[in-house]
């Protein structure tokens, strides 16, 4: 079972806008499209694969995305969002979480998380230009290579994938 680099099955925690949330054992290597057919509510806009430090996959990429090291790796968290959700709120929630949960030791993570959070808030309110998001994307890159541990290094995953795929939702 599974595929070349992602063998066997894995336990998944399925949550969010799904009619049947719960813990499921699924085969690795399945496409996100198949996953959404199985667990979606017919209106799935995006799936956050791998939790707050994972990647956000938008509807248009479901078919081309494989769950596993060939596509998006995950610890098992799968969150589904339907079109009633604001991806700004999703991102804000994640950044709020990271700003709080960063241990605070290293600069890129401690200050970087606060900057990302405050930055998207200001963009949303129109207090800074929407192009400020580009600066924040560069900051996310720095955090990825310069933070001391995996937490700070992976904050940029959700940030980049949400901002790149749902930019208009962050700005307007």
Partner 1 sequence: MINLRINDAKVSVQPGTTVLEAARKLNINIPTLCNHPDLCVAGNCRVCVVEQTGARTLIAACAMPVSEGMDIHTNTLKVRNARKHIVELLLSEHRSDCTKCYKNQKCELQALANEFAFGDTIFLDLVEDHKYSIDRSSPSFTKDDSKCIRCQRCVRTCSQLQHISAIAVANKGLHQKISSFHDRPMSHVVCTNCGQCVNRCPTGALVEKTYIDQVWDAIYDPDKHVVVQTAPAVRVALGEDLGYDPGERVTGKMVTALRQLGFDSILDTDFTADLTIMEEGTELLTRLKKILVDGDKNLALPMFTSCSPGWIKFIEHKYPEFLPNLSTCKSPQQMFGALAKTFYAQKMKLDPSKIVSVSIMPCTAKKYEADRPEMRASGYKDIDFVLTTRELAVMIKQAGIDFRNLESSHYDSIMGDSTGAAVIFGATGGVMEAALRTAYEIVTGREVPFQNLNITPVRGMDGVKEATVKIEGCLPEWKFLEGAELKTAIGHGLVNANKIMRKVREGKAPWHFVEIMACPGGCIGGGGQPIPTSMEIRKKRMKAIYSEDEHMVLRKSHENPDVIGIYKEFLGKPNSHASHELLHTHYTERDNY
Residues at the interface with partner 1 (CB under 8 A): 98-108, 110-115, 118-119, 122, 128, 135, 138-139, 141-142, 144-148, 153
Shortest distance in whole angstroms from residue 39 CB to partner 1: 32
Contact criterion met (CB below 8 Å) for 4 and 70: yes
Shortest distance in whole angstroms from residue 108 CB to partner 1: 6
Pick 61 or 144: Cβ nearer partner 1: 144
Measure the CA–CA gap between 71 and 74, rounded to whole angstroms. 10
Shortest distance in whole angstroms from residue 132 CB to partner 1: 9
Question: For residue 88, is it left (φ>0), alpha (ψ between -120 and 50) or beta?
Answer: alpha
Measure the CA–CA gap between 16 and 58, rounded to whole angstroms. 15
Pick 46 or 95: Cβ nearer partner 1: 95
Pick 126 or 138: Cβ nearer partner 1: 138
Dihedral sign, Cα of residue 8, residue 13, residue 18, residue 22: positive
Parallel, antiparallel or unpaired: strands 77-82 and 55-58: unpaired
Shortest distance in whole angstroms from residue 41 CB to partner 1: 34
Pick 57 or 123: Cβ nearer partner 1: 123
Contact criterion met (CB below 8 Å) for 165 and 48: no
């Amino acid at each position: 079972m599974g595929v070349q680099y992602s063998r066997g099955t894995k336990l998944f925690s399925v949550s969010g806008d799904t009619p049947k949330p719960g813990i499921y054992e699924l085969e690795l290597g399945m496409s996100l499209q198949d996953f959404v057919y199985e667990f979606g509510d017919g209106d799935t806009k995006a799936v956050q694969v791998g939790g707050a430090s994972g990647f956000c996959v938008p509807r248009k990429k479901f078919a081309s995305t494989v769950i596993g090291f060939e596509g998006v790796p995950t610890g098992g968290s799968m969150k589904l969002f339907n079109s009633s959700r604001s991806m700004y709120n999703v991102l804000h929630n994640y950044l709020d979480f990271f700003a709080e949960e960063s241990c605070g030791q290293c600069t890129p993570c401690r200050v970087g998380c606060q900057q990302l959070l405050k930055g998207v808030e200001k963009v949303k309110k129109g207090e800074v230009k929407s192009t400020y998001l580009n600066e924040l994307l560069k900051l996310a890159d720095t955090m990825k290579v310069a933070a001391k541990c995996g937490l700070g290094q992976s904050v940029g995953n959700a940030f980049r994938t949400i901002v790149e795929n749902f930019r208009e939702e962050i700005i307007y």
